[in-house]
Structure 1
Amino acid sequence: MGRLWIGMLGMKELLLTTVVHLVYRFYIFSTGVVSDLSQLLTGRPGSDAVAAAAAAAAREKRQPVPRYGDDEDGSFHSCEVPPIVLVHGIFVFGKGRLGGLSYFGGAEKKDDRVLVPDLGSLTSIYDRARELFYYLKGGQVDYGEEHSRSFGHPRFGRVYEEGNYPEWDEHHPIHLVGHSAGAQVIRVLQQMLADKAFEGYENTSEDWILSVTSLSGALNGTTRTYLDGMLPEDWKSMKPICLLQLCRLGCIVYDWLDIKWLKNYYNFGFDHFDMARHKAGFLGLIDYLLGNAGPFASGDWILPDLTIQGTLQLNAGLRTFPSTYYFAYATKMSRKFMGVTLSSSVHGIHPILFIRVLQMSQWRYPSDVPLPYKGYRDEDWEDNDGSLNTISMTHPWMPTEHPNHLVVDDSECHPMQPGIWYYKILEADHISFILGRDRAGVQFDLMYDSIFQRCRKHAFRTAPPPTLPNEIHHSTDS
């Protein structure tokens, strides 16, 4: 009787969670469609034709902004100010999707050299890192022969006719800012550059990246993956009935139908798996739904990478490099009350995350399953922001701890030292600093201003870069 009651409660919780997520995502999707229709009807920037014309004009007008550094002979040279690249998390989108909605809440307008790539929203950390490289350099995405063969998808993917920063190299480095899973994408990309993992590019190095900023970054995994359905036993399989199973089924049908105008608004990123109906056929759909083929069968999607065990395996091959600047913002929406970890606010947290904050603070690792790492304690993972555990967001610390420094006052990291993870803990939920700036209020501008100022004023290898035309002097413009 007790098991039946627990099962009924579990089904009610799954139903409620599913409805909340569907309503919120429908709201985001419909907002994008309405925005796009409005822009199309009024002739404002946003329609494909107007956007294409604006992009072409921008390319023609783009001029190098001088920055001075030392040549090997001791003389000075000029080059472009490094772009700041904002990398999104999972289930979401980059620039050009959902009617031009801004995933980063318009923060990209705070600087003249900001890029916002649109990567696969559910593809693996590895695949997204490869996509990001070709988004910047240009060419056809190459997932690598060995990886593609192991996970059963074609080796080559999307083609970028023109790279968004084709001159990218160690003399023209970039700043990378990653939200949520985007932080791990950045780290994997830097390691790939250090390992010269891109065929045809033998001169890559870690120095192609000047700074890394992690915003609510999944640097050490999250216990939410287990709440949503990943099994702690093998961290690659899902419970038979769970939120992620519903997501899996919806994603498969969405990609199989391959409705072009819908995928122009939102794309899970699995085009390189050839799941569309005209390629897979009806029998292929059945195979995908039964879990016999596709990304969910092979494990080449992002949720396994975000489990504690998956991150532990991933982190084992990732380094912190001595010539790169690192900064992390860890978010927390929980606090201790009479010895129990609860949500720190009822009104300050987004409804889609409220239940998960409570669940994550009370979640316990199954007693019959080997612990994910030596020294694991449930209480260390209680504080969270509704999606990630706060302990995960500070700095990489498993399987080995990387150099780090807790920042209480920003003056502590001026001047910054490369090769050290500076981190700051903020009271905010996981989506306070994305999608809409209204919820975070002034803190939104202060946080992004600090990121952009750090990139422009405190993270450099030779000399401080010059002032940009759109340098941040006030925090109320977006």
Structure 2
Amino acid sequence: MFRLWVVYLQFAELFVSSMVHLLYGFYIFSTAVAGDLSQALNDYFYKPNMNVEVKEEMSQGNSNVDDLPPIVLVHGIFGFGKGRLGSLSYFAGAEKKDERVLVPDLGSLTSIYDRARELFYYLKGGQVDYGEEHSKACGHSQFGRIYETGHYPEWDENHPIHFVGHSAGAQVVRVLQQMLADKAFKGYEHTSENWVLSITSLSGAFNGTTRTYFDGMQPEDGRSLKPISLLQLCRIGVIIYDWLDIPLLKNYYNFGFDHYNMSWRKMGIWGLVDCLLGNAGPFASGDWILPDLTIQGSIKLNYHLQTFPNTYYFSYATKRTRKIMGITVPSSILGIHPLLFIRVLQMSLWRHPSDVSPPYKGYRDEDWQDNDGALNTISMTHPRLPIEHPSRFVEEDSDCQPLEPGIWYYKLVEGDHILFIVNRKRAGVEFDVIYDSIFERCRKHVFRKQPQMVPNEAHH
């Protein structure tokens, strides 16, 4: 009887979770469509004075803007860049705070590896090359989207970039920097880690999250899916969405699996059945984002990722929990987004299964209980696993002046995982405080130290 009751509760929780996520997705999608329709009607009935706009642009001039190193905002899981979901902004309009900001549209569910490759070609230009070895191992096309011109083709060691990554986007940038250091892009033999001037993480997924296990990843291996779970429903939905391949919908939102050729035009009905049965596609090969976000998957990724001595690193770790009588509980009810409230509660009560080996030596449940509804706070401060990287806790920005490269400066912020994205009004004053400090730091305080010239060189 007790076991039946547990199963009933699990199905009830799955139903509630799936409905909340579905409704929120529909809300975002419909908001984007409504915004576009409103803009189209506005443009139709009110044609702006084009001459005024041209004069304003000309008066500003482009030369100073072109000299600024870009600040690149990299979205997280289920995210989108400029050009997707109409005029809706993933970063809630933060990109308007600076003259030179880029917001790339990367795969929203693709692996961190694939997204890092896409980000490189988005900036440099050319056709995305996922690499022959990786593509064969994962069973997808080696080549992807073509960028006729890169968004920053002059990018190199003398023209480095500032990156700001939200959630999994922060890990994408770290993987890209390691690829640059390893000279991993064919035809680009002179890349180096010094192409990256700074990395700023907003709720960054550095060390994985216990939420993946609630959503359906098996804690035994951090790779396979539980047969009945939220992620199974997500997997089925994504496969069908990509197989239907409706251009209007795909232009609005794309999960990023085009290189898997899952369209009905290319794989037919039997290909769909094969994907749904788990014999083919990204979910069969493990080449998607969720395995990278388990604690085991993050440790595997982090084995190869360094913190480099000439790059500046900053991190904002979010938390929506507190301790009462030694027990971790959600710190608010109204202050947590409905999409995340159940997960904040579940993650604060997390216990690693007693019959499963811990993900690393020295693991303790209590270390992983503070969270923001998507990631554990311990995971967001700086890379810790399998090796702890140099870090410094910051209360006031003035405490860490002058800034030093090669150290993760981190702050704790009271907020849930989507506080600084999509809805600016919800974040309130803190939205501007955080983003203003990020952009000001990138423009005024973070510069590559020039090597000192010895006297003999100066005469030459």
Which interval holds the TM-score relative to the shorter structure?
over 0.9
Unpaired segments of 5 or more residues in structure 1? Answer: 45-53, 67-78, 464-478
Q: CA deviation at 1:65?
A: 2.2
> Quick check: 1:371 aligned with 2:358?
yes
> Quick check: 1:461 aligned with 2:448?
yes
Per-residue CA deviation, residues 181-212 of structure 1 (Å, 9 max, x unaligned), is 00000000000000000000000000000000
Distance 2:17 2:433 in 1: 32
Partner amino acid for 2:15? L
Q: CA deviation at 1:373?
A: 0.3
Determine the structure 2 residue equivalent to 1:76: none
Determine the structure 2 residue equivalent to 1:226: 213
Distance 1:298 1:254 in 2: 19
Determine the structure 2 residue equivalent to 1:65: 64
Distance 2:186 2:158 in 1: 20
Partner amino acid for 1:268? F
* Aligned with 1:393 (options 367, 374, 380): 380
Per-residue CA deviation, residues 104-145 of structure 1 (Å, 9 max, x unaligned), is 010000000000000000000000000000000000000000
Per the alignment, in what secondary structure is the counterpart of residue 141 of structure 1?
Answer: strand
RMSD of aligned Cα (Å) = 2.0
Q: Return the TM-score normalized by structure 1.
A: 0.90
CA contact under 8 A between 1:223 and 1:389: conserved in structure 2?
Answer: yes
Determine the structure 2 residue equivalent to 1:24: 24
Determine the structure 2 residue equivalent to 1:213: 200
Per the alignment, in what secondary structure is the counterpart of residue 373 of structure 1?
Answer: coil
Distance 2:270 2:173 in 1: 37
CA contact under 8 A between 1:183 and 1:213: conserved in structure 2?
Answer: yes
* Aligned with 1:415 (options 402, 405, 422): 402
Determine the structure 2 residue equivalent to 1:38: 38
After superposition, residues 260-409 of structure 1 pair within 5 angstroms as 260-409=247-396
Distance 1:91 1:409 in 2: 32
After superposition, residues 182-221 of structure 1 pair within 5 angstroms as 182-221=169-208
Determine the structure 2 residue equivalent to 1:161: 148
Distance 2:39 2:274 in 1: 41
Per the alignment, in what secondary structure is the counterpart of residue 439 of structure 1?
Answer: helix
Determine the structure 1 residue equivalent to 2:159: 172
Sequence identity (%): 71
Distance 2:133 2:157 in 1: 27
Distance 2:175 2:251 in 1: 27
CA contact under 8 A between 1:80 and 1:172: conserved in structure 2?
Answer: no
Distance 2:62 2:137 in 1: 43
Q: CA deviation at 1:458?
A: 1.1
Distance 1:13 1:340 in 2: 23
Q: CA deviation at 1:62?
A: 7.4
Q: Give structure 1 regions of 4+ aligned residues with deviation exceeding 4 angstroms.
A: none
Q: CA deviation at 1:64?
A: 3.5
Partner amino acid for 2:155? W
Partner amino acid for 1:282? I
Determine the structure 2 residue equivalent to 1:471: none
Per the alignment, in what secondary structure is the counterpart of residue 140 of structure 1?
Answer: strand
Unpaired segments of 5 or more residues in structure 2? Answer: 45-52, 451-460
Number of equivalences: 444
Per-residue CA deviation, residues 309-351 of structure 1 (Å, 9 max, x unaligned), is 0000000000000000000000000000112111101111111
Determine the structure 1 residue equivalent to 2:106: 119
Per the alignment, in what secondary structure is the counterpart of residue 9 of structure 1?
Answer: helix
Q: CA deviation at 1:58?
A: 8.3
After superposition, residues 72-151 of structure 1 pair within 5 angstroms as 80-151=67-138
Q: Return the TM-score normalized by structure 2.
A: 0.94
Partner amino acid for 1:29? F
Partner amino acid for 1:157? G
